[in-house]
Amino acid sequence: MSHRIAQVQKQIRRVLSELLAKEGEDYGIGMVSINDILLSRDLGGAKVWVSFIAEPDQKTTFAKLIRHSKSIQTHLYKNLPIKKVPIITWILDENPALSYRIDEILDDINPTNRKNPELPPDSYQGGKDSDSLSS
């Protein structure tokens, strides 16, 4: 993934998170979790996976979100600092617990992808003072 796509994905996540936190109750959707965003290479479209926290009927709540897609898209046009704003395609992530478990398994397989991997006891993590090691 290019650096530019990653930056735009972060911006979309930030703007959507702020909007849904403020307006979610007005939309009748409560708390929304944005689980993932996949942006096309040409920045023309973005798939956004969402789930709803403490909502027993996810599909009905998702339908409410879809009804507000046009106003959400308009908000993105006004608040994203880019010329080409992607068209959002909403996807209901029906099993975020499964996604979380898959992430855990992947972290176990490749621990170098962790933000704070545990270092083996015989390793050394250098820092600013690593040059001042003298016996």
pLDDT in tens, 81-131: 998 899 999 999 877 656 666 767 777 787 665 554 454 444 344 444 444
Q: What is the largest CA-CA distance in the chain?
A: 69
Average pLDDT over every residue of 47-62: 89
Residue type, position 97, single letter: A
Is the distance from CB of 74 to CB of 56 less than 8 angstroms?
no
What is the model's pLDDT at position 118?
52
* DSSP conformation class of 126: -
Q: State the residue for tokens 């820092």.
A: 127
- Continuous segment of H or E residues that includes residue 113: none
Which pLDDT score, from 0 to 100, does residue 96 have? 60
Tokens of 114: 């962790």
Correct CATH for 3-113 of 3.40.50.880, 3.30.300.20, 3.40.718.10, 1.10.1060.10: 3.30.300.20
The tokens for 69 are 């897609």
Q: Tell me which of 11-25, 29-43, 86-100 is least confident.
A: 86-100
